[in-house]
Amino acid sequence: MALVSELELPAFDPTDPSLRGDRFHEVMRELGSQGWLAKDPFGYVVLDRESAEFFLRTRSAIFPGMKIAEIFGVSEGPLYEEMKWNILHINGPDHTRLRSLVNPALSPRAVERYRPAMKEFLQRLFTQATGGGGDGTVRCEFVEAFAKPYPSMVIADVMGAPLEDAPRLHHWSNWIQRQFDAGSMASEREGIEQAVEEFYEYAGALVRARRESPGDDLISKLIAAEEEGDRLSDVECINLVFNVLVGGVDTSQSQLAHAIRLLAEHPEQWALLTEDTELAEAAVEEALRFEPITPFTARILVEDVTFRDVIFPEGTIVLVSAFSGNRDLTEDERGPGGPERFDITAGRGRARALTFGAGVHYCLGANLARLELQEGLGFLAEHLKGLELDGEPVYESVSGIYGLAELPIKFSV
Ligand code: HEM
């Protein structure tokens, strides 16, 4: 038995700004070859599937959201309220209760209702990007043209908000997400507070309007949600809408952008998808596995934990690497090229990718995200012929949500 601080461990810094694109993959490969555990500036990082699942599932660890609030002195005001009510920061019976009231509204069957709107939004964005039709080569910056507007249009529809509000929703979500970025918390706190305040006002008005006249949207479903006589209060409802907005925009945007980048970099796979759009589901799963936009998530231990004969004391922060866990495959899942090959035909199955987390905080929006990504890739494969990169993608940082700032592409119509 050894105390984790007494071990000789390789060092890893997820905030190193050079960790992007191929270099990120090389560094993670090298790190993984040295064992399952490494030291990082905040604590430790675990690198294989079993250890990732252990730290995500143990009741002895929680997401360190309130620790972030404490470090940055967030102790009152709109951002504090939001952090306190964030479902990811709530644990135990309160969390179980919220999840059981919300889950039905985002079940695989419930999200099917949003499919026609997704198709319509994609068609609209395609028409804008191609100038309404014609033949020939189209060049566009994919993030601006598709990846960025599409998820906020979907979330507007999910919330029952007017479609014209999608750009505002994107703006708020993007600002509020910055609470998870240490640099922004230090330098952009006012902007974050303002976005939280504005969105609280907006979401409050929507919830009040739906109480008056219910519709077929998520807010109406949350208001009606009932579990053994229990209902959500207004505050709970507003905060859940908040979580859906903040959880559901940058994430889907970034995963769609990476999926299209990977497919543009593998023209033979794009060709397979254009020939058979039924492969869209497998393509989504492989993009989620190969380039998770949540490469790391964090836990803080609320009591001493022993795992594989190593003692992790209470208060230790453990980063969980979905990136490496997703490469830790069984013989059946490896496919002909092994885990380092992006292969939409490998038939690896979906159940074990760690991209949506694991355990009680498993992504609440996973069904919606999968559906919007499947619709996205299916539509694009039908409409963008001969997809190619038209310049170097611009990568964002891997700590936080790993997105693309720019993805220049060309295709023909
Ligand atoms: C590709 C897209 C997405 C990815 C990769 C993703 C990833 C994740 C991950 C890894 C977690 C767990 C974090 C942890 O345990 O530390 C999570 C939680 C969550 N996600 Fe997502 N997400 C995506 C899309 C969405 C969407 C579309 C929504 C909204 C409909 C959403 C709402 C949430 C919420 C509310 C939680 C917290 C659940 C809880 O604490 O019980 N996510 N997501």
Output the CA 411–ligand 1 centroid distance in Å: 32
pLDDT at res. 332: 84
> Which residues, at least 6 apart from 407, have a Cβ–Cβ distance to it below 8 Å?
141, 142, 143, 147, 257, 260, 261, 389, 393, 394
How many A from CA of 356 to the centre of ligand 1? 6
The per-residue pLDDT for range 160-198, each reduced to its tens digit, is 999 999 999 999 999 998 888 777 888 899 999 999 999
What is the CB neighbour count within 10 angstroms for residue 326?
22
List of the chain residues with pLDDT < 50 = none
- Confidence at residue 163, expressed as pLDDT on a 0 to 100 scale: 95
As a whole number of angstroms, the distance between CA 412 and CA 178 comes to 37
Options 1.10.1060.10, 3.40.50.300, 3.40.605.10, 3.30.43.20; CATH for 1-71+295-339 is 3.30.43.20
197 CB-near residues (< 8 Å, 6+ apart): 78
Tell me the domain boundaries of the chain.
1-71+295-339, 76-130+138-288+356-413
Measure 294 CA to ligand 1 centroid, in angstroms: 9
Q: Can you give the C-alpha Rg of the chain in angstroms?
A: 21
Give the residues surrounding ligand 1 with Cβ less than 6 Å away.
Answer: 63, 87-88, 99, 243-244, 247-248, 251-252, 255, 293-294, 297, 355-357, 361, 363-365, 368-369
In this predicted model, what pLDDT tens digit does every residue of 313-342 receive, in sequence order?
999 999 999 999 999 998 888 888 899 999
pLDDT for 348: 83
Calpha distance 84→393 (Å, rounded): 37
Same fold, 1-71+295-339 and 76-130+138-288+356-413: no
The pLDDT assigned to 406 comes to 98
How many residues does the structure list for the chain? Answer: 413
Per the CATH hierarchy, to which homologous superfamily does domain 76-130+138-288+356-413 belong? Answer: Cytochrome P450 (1.10.630.10)
User: What is the per-residue pLDDT for 360?
Assistant: 96
* pLDDT for the residue 132: 66
Number of H helices, E strands in the chain: 20, 15
Task: Give the alpha-carbon dihedral of 324, 325, 330, 336, to 10 degrees.
Answer: -40
Nearest atom in ligand 1 to the alpha carbon of residue 357 is 10
pTM of the model: 0.96
* CA 365–ligand 1 middle distance (angstroms): 6
